[in-house]
Amino acid sequence: MDPVPALDEPLKKVLGPATAKVMAEHLGLHTVGDLLHHYPRRYEERGQLTHLADLPMDEHVTVVAQVADARLHTFASSRAPRGKGQRLEVTITDGSGRLQLVFFGAGVHKPHKELLPGTRAMFAGKVSVFNRRLQLAHPAYELLRGDAEETVETWAGALIPIYPATAKLESWKIGKALQTVLPSAQEAADPLPESLREGRGLVTLPEALLKIHRPHTKADIEEARARLKWDEAFVLQVALARRRHADAQLPAVPRRPRPDGVLAAFDDRLPFTLTEGQRKVSEEIFADLATDHPMHRLLQGEVGSGKTLVALRAMLAVVDAGGQAAMLAPTEVLAQQHHRSVTEMMGELAEGGMLGGAENATKVVLLTGSMGAAARRKALLDLATGEAGVVIGTHALIEDKVQFHDLGLVVVDEQHRFGVEQRDALRGKGKQPPHLLVMTATPIPRTVAMTVFGDLETSVLDQLPAGRSPIASHVVPAADKPHFLARAWERVREEADKGHQAYVVCPRIGDEEDGAKAKKKSPEDEAEKRPPLAVLDTAEQLARGPLAGLRVEVLHGRMQPDDKDAVMRRFAAGEVDVLVATTVIEVGVNVPNATVMVIMDADRFGVSQLHQLRGRVGRGSAPGLCLLVSEMPEASAARQRLNAVASTLDGFELSRIDLEQRREGDVLGQAQSGTRSSLRMLAVIDDEEVIAEARVEANRIVAADPDLERLPALRTALDALLDEEREQYLEKG
């Protein structure tokens, strides 16, 4: 039987069962390799050697000195009322000055035995003043025996690694365990091809592991970190490059629009010209659709940049080529909204097979879970026969009984709300893999796009169409300045008087079932004891109080679909002045006449979500106003987050702030897996250059050797990264 490779050795064989059990249960560490990749969070310095004559206050110092005398005192205290309290005072000298050390309680026994007059030792601790004399309380010390010049230098200059630890296992115990396994680092297989490593001046993996856990200098730490970041970025990018390579081998039906088809007729109908950005992105998409392997493209666009129009043109191109296109929306409200706006934009081109439909028209069908049986049967029939060229729906589209005649393109709106499984199920509906276009209005920093959506090509729409208005955003500190909130409601009234409309968003619905489940949201919510504001209560208070006389209605996720649709229609038609809603209106709702967005308890929403909500106003020619109402104190992190949102309309900048606050989580599909992060050293935001360079190198290597036959160590590293869960995640991505 082959011996187990050193890094795969279970920790329980090396460290003993008790320690290994704590490491497995609390830190997710099972093998020697896992422990070697458990990196220090930071390093403490014992401090440079300091002369007693010039000790700085409140700093961590290390001194070498001789014990001059040591005295044990007993005293009475609240804990030891009978005079049983013990205090050891030790005076040390280095010839330049003297210093007092103190130890208390049970901590006196060991130093009392060891720190005898004449003993030479190193002492490390923080300098403080007591009775106008400098002292070190409970210093760490190491006795020096014999000629100790070398020991002095190495001990004082040592960087002490501080590990991510748990209550059950202190950092220094993890450090001790690492001492035991560190020799195995020599056997770590290096995943980086030698030419790449040498070309970039990176140290070997065994050297990086030694330097990260036992650095002699700060330069050691930097070298090790630079190398370990490269490993993470590179192995991840190789996984994604292989994914892209495999996708490129899949067959797909090329879809090219006819010059006189429905797309050309649609373009002729448009009452405006496309922006430069829309034209450029459309060309990228049409080029992908014309190839014989499936398109995998991510379309990012700021709120209101016209993504839906770009997606619709792609769908019509596929219909022209004889195929069908499906758009998957995360909510019924959004699916209905898309269906409404698509049929309006297309006019008689959406009336295929109907009286009055244009000659090259197609049929646009809506499919949601709450449709009546008859309407649903009709829609399913239109899909199966190919009568419907365009279908828009919720995840009802994914169900087994939905059959397509010839599915050529899948458009997924607001990707972050769909599990990969759902995207995958829809892609499985085609006779051959359909082309895939993923849209998001949540701006994703370039590095995250390269990492999370690394198997997708990325297009960005960053121009707003002509006629879109700027949005002014302000924080309304309701607790500090209640008159600001009163003024906010006056502003809503003023806009309504001008014939405009307003949204008021609350975090909660407010019916009883909802109230029972309302949980505290975040640690900083300690400040308030009340549950988050609710739609139903707020609507009632506004209609009776500051907004009396205006037409106020509510919209939330637990309403019947027909009721939701009816409210949205009335709001869109201008029959409602103020819509009090939950975040169901966050995505895709388009009412150009709405100019004010008031977000109650705004601190309970994430940065990207606030940006999304704000994008619902300013969609017409009148300027938009977004008011972020919060009771959090000015100095709190929550208020700083709101100030950031109010200070910029740049979604990419905000998404960086959002990520920095949340940290990345596991970029390989934390949403799906819930396992611990695979990124220990790499920070997706800060290490943009490393990720971009690693992507280039990964593409080069995979193009030359897709199965990595010449790089066995890289394959091993890949297998370790892509345990089954993640492998499936990437498979389906």
pLDDT of residue 480: 85
pLDDT of residue 304: 67
Q: 519 falls in which pLDDT band (50, 70, 90)?
A: very low
pLDDT of residue 430: 73
- Name the more confident of 462 and 262: 262
Q: 372 is written with which tokens?
A: 């009546």
DSSP state letters, 504-547? EE-SB--SHHHHHH-----GGGGG--SPPPBHHHHHHHHHHTTT
pLDDT at residue 676 above 50? Answer: no
Identity at 573, one-letter amino acid code? A
Start-to-end C-alpha separation, the chain:
39
Average pLDDT across the chain, whole number: 81
Ranking 41-50, 369-378, 563-572, 576-585 by mean pLDDT, the lowest is: 41-50
pLDDT at residue 730 above 70? Answer: no
Q: 409 falls in which pLDDT band (50, 70, 90)?
A: very high
Please name which of 673, 705, 659, 499 lies closest in space to residue 593, comparing C-alpha atoms.
499
| Residue 7 DSSP class | G
SS (H, E, C) 36-104: HCCCCCEEEECCCECCHHHCCCCCEEEEEEEEEEEEEEEECCCCCCCCCEEEEEEEEECCCCEEEEEEE
Ranking 9-18, 525-534, 553-562 by mean pLDDT, the lowest is: 525-534
Q: Are 298 and 254 in contact (CB under 8 A)?
A: no
Identity at 637, one-letter amino acid code? A
Q: 520 falls in which pLDDT band (50, 70, 90)?
A: very low
- Name the more confident of 264 and 444: 264
Q: Please give the model's pTM, rounded to 2 decimal places.
A: 0.63
Q: What is the dihedral of CA 597, 600, 604, 606, to 10 degrees?
A: 10
- Name the more confident of 503 and 608: 503
pLDDT at residue 521 above 50? Answer: no
pLDDT of residue 16: 84
Q: 235 is written with which tokens?
A: 């192995």
Cα 289 to Cα 107, 297, 329, 363, 454, distances in angstroms? 74, 10, 21, 21, 19
Q: Are 235 and 711 in contact (CB under 8 A)?
A: no
Compute the distance between CA of residue 62 and CA of residue 160 in angstroms, rounded to an integer: 13
Cα 242 to Cα 233, 442, 606, distances in angstroms? 14, 27, 34
- What mean pLDDT comes out for the span 538-553? 91
Ranking 349-353, 586-590, 703-707 by mean pLDDT, the lowest is: 586-590
pLDDT of residue 356: 58
pLDDT of residue 494: 94
The residues with which 73 forms a beta bridge, in sequence order, are: 87
For the sheet containing 457-461, what is the strand order? Answer: 363-367, 388-393, 324-328, 407-413, 435-440, 296-301, 457-461
DSSP state letters, 252-274? -------TTSHHHHHHHH-SSPP
Opening angle at CA 423, ends 419 and 426, nearest 5: 140
Compute the distance between CA of residue 410 and CA of residue 314 in angstroms, rounded to an integer: 10
- Name the more confident of 500 and 467: 500
pLDDT at residue 416 above 70? Answer: no
Count how many Cα atoms sit within 13 Å of the Cα of residue 283 in the half-sphere of its side chain: 6
What pLDDT, in 10s, does the model give residues 82-128? 667 888 999 998 877 888 999 988 888 889 999 999 888 878 788 88
Please name which of 87, 55, 54 lies closest in space to residue 72, comparing C-alpha atoms.
87
pLDDT at residue 469 above 80? Answer: no
Q: 418 falls in which pLDDT band (50, 70, 90)?
A: low
Cα 85 to Cα 74, 77, 88, 101, 440, distances in angstroms? 5, 7, 10, 17, 66
pLDDT at residue 171 above 80? Answer: no
pLDDT at residue 665 above 50? Answer: no
pLDDT at residue 37 above 70? Answer: yes
pLDDT at residue 324 above 90? Answer: yes
Ranking 103-112, 251-260, 521-530, 600-609 by mean pLDDT, the lowest is: 521-530
Please name which of 543, 521, 540 lies closest in space to residue 532, comparing C-alpha atoms.
521
| Residue 321 DSSP class | T
Q: 35 is written with which tokens?
A: 């422990």
Compute the distance between CA of residue 205 and CA of residue 719 in angstroms, rounded to an integer: 17
- Name the more confident of 258 and 165: 258
pLDDT of residue 672: 30
pLDDT at residue 502 above 90? Answer: yes
What pLDDT, in 10s, does the model give residues 285-308? 999 999 988 888 888 887 667 888
- Name the more confident of 183 and 532: 183
pLDDT above 70: percentage of residues in the chain: 80
pLDDT of residue 670: 38
Q: 319 falls in which pLDDT band (50, 70, 90)?
A: very high
What pLDDT, in 10s, does the model give residues 678-723? 566 676 667 778 888 888 899 999 999 888 888 888 888 887 766 5
Tokens 């034209």, located at residue: 279
pLDDT at residue 727 above 60? Answer: no
Q: 422 falls in which pLDDT band (50, 70, 90)?
A: low
Opening angle at CA 348, ends 345 and 353, nearest 5: 130
SS (H, E, C) 657-690: HHHHHHCCCCCCCHHHHCCCCCCCCCCCCCCHHH
